[in-house]
A and B are shown apart, each in its own frame.
Chain A
Amino acid sequence: MGDERISAGRTPDGDSAVTGSTDGISRRAALASAVGLTASTSGCVRQLRSIVNRDDIQQLSLTITTRSADGDRESIRLAREIAATLETVGIDVSIEMRSNEEFLRAVLINHDFDLYVGQHPGGIDPDFLYETLHSLYADESGWQNPFGFTNLLIDDRLEAQRVADGDERREAVVAMLEAIAIEQPFVPICTPTEYRLVRDDRYDGWSRGHLATRTGYLDLEPQTDNSADRLRVVHMDPRPSENLNPLNAEYREQGTFIDLLYDSLAVEVVAADGDHALEPWLAEGWEWTDESTLRLALRSDCAFHDGEPVTADDVAFTYRFLEDTVLGADAFPAPTPRYRGRVAAVDDIDVRDETTLEITVGTGQAVGEQALTVPILPEHRWSSRATAATVPGVRIAQGTTEAVVTDNIPPIGSGPFQYDSHSDRDYVLFERFDDHFTRRGSVDLPEPTVEELRIGIDPRSTSAIQLLEDDSADVTSSPLESYVIEDIEETDAVRPLESPSWTFYHLGFNARSAPFGNPRFRQVIAQLIDKAWLVDEVFHGHATPIATPVTDEWTPDDLAWDGADPKMPFLGSNGEVDVDTARTAFEEAGFRYDADGKLRVRQ
């Protein structure tokens, strides 16, 4: 009976035939009618299959991955505001919170996200966008293209600014930024203004170096008898006390303290007010022997913290190693998750003798010189780390070398400070490397003036401020969270120090999955974010809304913030989205709404 009912339901004229057979019609007649029925329904079945086998388009449901308030108070707030906005335009949103390192692992290593909100370390030079967006890197792990963004036009523009120099490069950068502003591979939201607290009574010279860079902690002038003994730094992120690996993406933000431990050939010396210049550092100097060849001489008699000399071989090793942390021993290379774009600029390194080498770059000179800013690793420490990391009984992802996962404690670099001791989530203590070249009389570069530098971990702005007020600390190395800035009381000894930032908060899309790979979709989302309102609301005004993710110096007039986003103006006002306008925008981008006002998107 069950079968009959189904066929009866499907074919209206089958009803009588099937029920008829139970009414004593002859077997032959029944058979004949059944054959006829099959013939007449075969067309229907095709149609039926066509109807039934179409996937229904569901409401767009997405997840925003971000950090908890302990990790980044601004990120979770931005994520919640954006989630609320997306909900009003008919998208189902949930928020996933992760700790600092889990967040970066999900986004940078495993690409396990739909959308994410976070802070990008950015760059003083706009070339950081090359590694951030070039399609060649869409499959790699690390800060190189976490979005999986692929666009041949953008690739062209990213490459064009890389090979150009001078005014030509300036124009190429403008062209690149404009193309990016249209594509919106990620939505740049704002650049925070960094506030730190410093104590003036023990040290002078805070405004010399930018405290997000190594030079902020060099050349300080001790003001009292015992202040040269120990510089007391408060850091709000516990990760430097847990891991000191310059190649690890999950434990590094800007890598300020890593830069105190490791030297690079050249250093971008950034003043507290943001002025910067690329200075020879471990290299005594360099000259361009032709368009693409740099000849460098290393400073003589430099040593790593374990006493081994720094040689041209270590430099050549570093660039080779960062390009492939398995050093060719595996079926495919395992490039570094940090410094990727800078290393890619180097085509070849020719070691001439112990201290001279020639570097051939495949880029223009400006970007080629940026390649000199990667940390120089001692070959004798790192060559053994070119092996796959192992955990007994667990299958490890290919390309996971010891080099990218080790905590690298104790770190052996050649930088102005060397590692002394640490305790997880508590502190890490550096001691001055007395043999550092900056301490030589003949060298006029920022030098370490304190004997010890203790980075105390204190997870909250409020307690960090208390430490400074109690004279238990000299400086907060992490920027203070924006909600406490208004409450800071300036005293004789303690004062806030404001400095520009090149980091930026952004909303990242995982372009590997629909509909985030669709630029029209991304454009509409970008227009649902009221950046100026968020700056007031979330950052208490201590940030600047941006339309393009580079520093002011490189921002073209077309993309400068002029009270509103010049390319992606907000569809609404005062943080409130105009739902009708937003719906029209989605519909014009080819998406549909159902009767309940839900955005239906094929995912």
Chain B
Amino acid sequence: MLSEVLTRVVIVVSILLPISLGLFVGRERLATTRTEWRSRIRLSGPAILVVSSVLLLNRTVRQDGPGIGVHMTEVIRKIEGEFVLIFQEVATPQLTAYFSFIYIYGYTFLLVFPVMAYFALSDTKMFRRLLTAYAFNYAIGLVLYALVIAYGPRNVLPELIASSGSGTSTMLYDHSPEFKYLTREVNRNVNVFPSLHTSLSATVGIFAYLTRSSYPKWLPVAIVLAVSVIISTMYLGLHWGIDVLAGLALASFCVALSCRIVGRWSLSGLYEQLTEFDRF
């Protein structure tokens, strides 16, 4: 089942990617990328290394959890009440299908496309910033997951999420049970605060704004997708409003931090300094 779902995600994303690359990036940039990719990768080496090691760590730590956190479900619920249920009032089967699609396929595409698009820019700064921001999102999210143990709405209010007015379930895993295989691979059900779907989508959204001069057509698409992903986390009963707020805060923080850090120190410069130092 898992491989089936994975294959479907890969197929959908690999159909979407070439179309959007052609549409938003353009042939010219892709052509220069073909000649310059070696030097770009060399320049972005550190950022690539950081993001891949964080992702690797993410995979092992997220599944088991260190067991040091504080249980916060009740606190979150007492603060925001049953706010997320407002999405249940407008639920329709079409919306559910849309948000389920967005949550899995839309999100994956939203995360992968900018990596390619910014790699296609001859200035690798944005590419490195994006990767660094991704890494920060995951790293900080990981720490918060360890500290805050909370269950999402679907675990607390199962019947309210599951039985919308339309009669069909809006809870992701009831509507599309196969997705459970996918998310179970990467997540524990107490990894709720903050919503990484929100923070990563918002990160992409903010970057789309920062790069609007290079990719003007991507901006509206990114915004629509990001907002859809963010709403879907609550609509599908996976996250509380507070998780989403925390995700937005995390996104702004990570983007700001990555813009500060990237370009300030360069590892190659550092290396030159060190070798110079050696000579004396």
The 8 A CB mask of B161-181 against A (1 = contact, 0 = none) is 010000000000110011011
Instruction: Identify B158's interface contact among A76, A99, A472, CB under 8 A.
Output: A76
B63-86 residues with Cβ-Cβ distance < 8 A to A are: 71, 73-74, 78
Stretch at the interface among A206-214, A329-337, A460-468, A557-565: A460-468
Contacts of B154 in A (CB 8 A): 69
Q: Give A290-302 as 1s and 0s: 1 = Cβ < 8 Å from B's Cβ atoms.
A: 0000000000000
Residue from the list B151, B162, B180 in contact with A483, Cβ < 8 A: B162
Q: A95-B74, A96-B74 are in contact. Are A459 and B180 (CB under 8 A)?
A: yes
CB–CB A466/B162 < 8 A? no
Contacts A96-B71, A97-B73 given; indicate if A460 touches B177 (C-beta within 8 A).
yes
CB distance from B237 to the nearest CB of A (A): 10
| B184, CB-defined interface residue at 8 Å | yes
Interface residues on A, range: 20 to 34
B74 pairs with A68, CB closer than 8 A: no
CA of A76 to CA of B155, assembled, Å: 8
B162 touches A99 (CB 8 A): no
Bound: A286/B212 CA distance, A: 85
Contact across chains for A70 and B155 when beta carbons are under 8 A apart: yes
Within 8 A of B (CB), among A93-131: 94-99
Q: Tell me if B36 is interfacial: C-beta within 8 Å of chain A.
A: no
Residues of A within 8 A of B156 (CB): 68-69, 76, 80, 95, 97
Q: Report the bound CA distance from A94 to B73 in whole Å.
A: 10
Residues of B within 8 A of A170 (CB): none
Residues of B within 8 A of A98 (CB): 71
Given contacts A70-B155, A77-B158, contact A463 B189 (CB under 8 A): no
Decide yes or no: A97 and B155 within 8 Å by CB, A68-B189, A70-B189 being known contacts.
yes
Residue A425 is within 8 A (CB to CB) of chain B in the complex: yes
- Contact residues in B for A69 (Cβ distance below 8 Å): 151, 154-156, 158
CB–CB A462/B174 < 8 A:
yes
Partner of B190, one of A76, A99, A462, A467: A99
Report whether over half of chain B's contact residues are helix, strand or loop; otherwise say mixed: helix
A73 at the B interface (CB under 8 A) = yes
Complex-state Cα separation, A84 to B180, whole angstroms: 31
A153 to B24, CA, bound (A): 80
Chain B hits for A425, CB < 8 A: 184
User: B1 to chain A: which residues have CB within 8 Å?
Assistant: 463, 467, 472
- The verdict on B159 contacting chain A, using a C-beta distance below 8 Å, is yes
A460 adjacent to B155 (CB under 8 Å): no
- With contacts A96-B74, A97-B71, A483-B162 known, is A68 near B177, CB below 8 A? no
Shortest distance between the CB of A241 and any CB in chain B (Å): 12
A73-93 interface code vs B (CB 8 A; 1 in, 0 out): 100110010000000000000
Q: Give bound CA distance, A589 to B38, whole Å.
A: 81
A94 touching B74, Cβ below 8 Å: yes
A77-B71 in contact (CB<8A): no
Tell me, in angstroms, the Cα distance from A94 to B189 when the chains sit together. 20
Whole-angstrom distance between the Cβ of B135 and the nearest chain A Cβ: 27
* Cross-chain contact of A68 among B151, B159, B180, B184 (Cβ < 8 A): B151
Chain A residues, CB < 8 A from B158:
69, 73, 76-77, 483
Cα–Cα distance between A463 and B155 once the two chains are bound (Å): 17
Q: With contacts A68-B156, A69-B154, A70-B155 known, is A459 near B73, CB below 8 A?
A: no
- 8 A Cβ contacts from B170-202 to A: 173-174, 177-178, 180-181, 184, 189-190
Given the complex, which residues of B lie within 8 Å of A460, measured CB to CB? 173-174, 177, 180
Cβ contact of A462, chosen from B74, B177, B181, B184, cutoff 8 A: B177
Given A97-B151, A462-B174, A483 and B159 touching (CB < 8 A)?
yes
Q: A458 CA to B1 CA in the complex, in Å?
A: 10
| Residue on B nearest A93 in the bound complex, by CB | B74
Residues of A within 8 A of B71 (CB): 96-98
- Complex CA gap A221/B244 in Å reads 53
- Least CB distance from B175 to A in Å reads 9
How far is it, in angstroms, between the C-alpha of A77 and the C-alpha of B177 when the chains are bound? Answer: 21
Across the interface, which residues of B come within 8 angstroms of A80, CB to CB?
Answer: 156-157
Cα–Cα, bound, A69→B190 (Å): 12
Mask, B222-252, CB within 8 Å of A = 1, is 0000000000000000000000000000000
Which residues in A have their C-beta under 8 angstroms from that of B162? 483
Q: Is the CB of A463 within 8 A of B74?
A: no
Q: Is the CB–CB distance between A466 and B177 below 8 Å?
A: yes
Q: Whole-angstrom distance between the alpha carbons of A147 and B235 in the complex?
A: 39
- In the bound complex, what is the Cα–Cα distance between A68 and B77 (angstroms)? 14
- What is the chain A residue whose CB lies nearest that of B151? A68
Contact of B184 among A73, A97, A459, A472 (CB under 8 A): A459
* B-chain residues with CB within 8 Å of residue A77 when the two chains form the complex: 158-159
**Measured CA separation A356–B133 after assembly (Å):** 71
CB neighbours of A472 from chain B (8 A) = 1
Q: How far is the CB of A251 from the nearest CB of chain B, in Å?
A: 15
Known: A68-B189, A97-B73. A463 touches B159 (CB 8 A): no
> Given A68-B189, A97-B151, A97-B156, A463 and B73 touching (CB < 8 A)?
no
Partner of A463, one of B78, B151, B173, B190: B173
Give the chain A neighbours of B189 by CB distance below 8 A: 68, 70, 99
Shortest C-beta distance, A430 to chain B (Å), equals 21
Contact B155 A462 (CB under 8 A): no
Q: Which residues of A contact B184 (CB under 8 A)?
A: 425, 459
Chain A residues in 8 Å Cβ range of B73: 95-97
CB distance from B147 to the nearest CB of A (A): 16
Chain B proximity of A5: nearest CB distance (Å): 41
A469 to chain B, nearest CB (A): 11
A159 to B280, CA, bound (A): 88
Of all chain B residues, the one with the shortest Cβ separation from A63 is B74
Complex CA distance for A80 and B156, rounded to whole angstroms: 9
Q: List 30 A-B contacts (CB under 8 A).
A: A68-B155, A68-B156, A69-B151, A69-B154, A69-B156, A70-B151, A70-B155, A70-B189, A73-B158, A76-B158, A77-B158, A94-B74, A94-B78, A95-B73, A95-B74, A97-B155, A97-B156, A98-B71, A99-B189, A99-B190, A425-B184, A458-B180, A459-B184, A460-B173, A460-B177, A460-B180, A462-B174, A466-B178, A483-B158, A483-B159
8 smallest CB-CB distances across A and B, nearest first, come from: A463-B177, A68-B155, A69-B158, A69-B155, A462-B177, A68-B151, A94-B74, A462-B174
Q: A69-B154, A97-B156, A463-B181 are in contact. List 14 more A-B contacts (CB 8 A).
A: A68-B156, A68-B189, A70-B155, A73-B158, A76-B158, A80-B156, A95-B73, A95-B156, A96-B74, A97-B73, A458-B180, A460-B174, A463-B173, A483-B159
B residues apposed to A, CB below 8 Å: 1, 71, 73-74, 78, 151, 154-159, 162, 173-174, 177-178, 180-181, 184, 189-190
